[in-house]
Amino acid sequence: MISEESDMGEMGSPLVSANPQPRVFLQPIAGPSILGLYGLAGATFLVAAQMARWFGPGDTTLMVVPFAAIFGGVAQFLSGMWAYKARDGVATAVHGLWGAFWIAFGVIALMASRTGAAITRGVVTPELGYCFIVTAAITWVCAAAAAAENKSLVTTLTFLAAGSTVAAIGLLAGVAGLVTLAGYLFIISALAAWYTASALMLNEAFGREVWTLGRSERARQMPRVTLGAGEPGVIRGQA
């Protein structure tokens, strides 16, 4: 938002100065990826643990769906919209995609529960494999773009994309072993997402680097405040 300085006339009426000075008002927001990555970590870990056969039969999917759909879905999707305001294209794509995926996952799980299908076991629901094709294709590109920001995010997205790829193959081919492997890849991604979100939060809270993110040279040199067309004084990015 920009306003112009003005002088007051004799009767109190505002008079625009001959040389108006623009005022820039910043509207900074907390790093959206703190919430987004925590949501991604929580939902991914729970579902991946079942895919890796750490707990329960297939029908226990309904026990984790509410948390995955709300925290990993709704909360993460909202963080993607806030990342849009922060002008962070990578975070917008990642949280928008995976937030929508976890919401859809919850809907699919509820639909599958009527037939007793186990949607994370590979043989029963190969249709879910096509969903993972989409997430894999987009997440691989996001991982490549994240190289311009920090290594921690690259690690998170690389394992997330690899897990999606293996899950797609396992579900489409009906190979339960590949679905289990995908579960372990997702678990590593969830741990990396937890670390990245924690580093962002701690670094922001203390105003210095407490946990390293492995920021790229480009990210280190980027000014904290940039002037975009029609968006004066908008803080770009989160790292």
Q: Where are the beta strands (DSSP E) in the chain?
A: 2-4, 6-8, 14-16, 22-24, 225-228, 231-235
pLDDT tens for 35-75 read 999 999 999 999 999 888 888 765 566 778 888 899 999 99
CA angle 185, 191, 197 (to 5 degrees): 135
d(CA 60, CA 40): 20
pLDDT tens for 135-144 read 999 999 999 9
- Cα distances from 76 to residues 89, 91, 213, 221, in angstroms, run 15, 10, 20, 28
Instruction: Please tell me the predicted confidence (pLDDT) of residue 88.
Output: 87
For the chain, what percent of residues have pLDDT higher than 90? 45
Task: Name the CA radius of gyration of the chain, rounded.
Answer: 22
Is the pTM for the entire model greater than 0.75? yes
- CA atoms in the 13 A half-sphere facing the CB of 81: 7
Across 12-26, 77-91, 105-119, the highest mean pLDDT is recorded for 77-91
Q: Where are the domains of the chain?
A: 32-235
d(CA 94, CA 80): 7
Q: Residue 222: what residue type? A: M
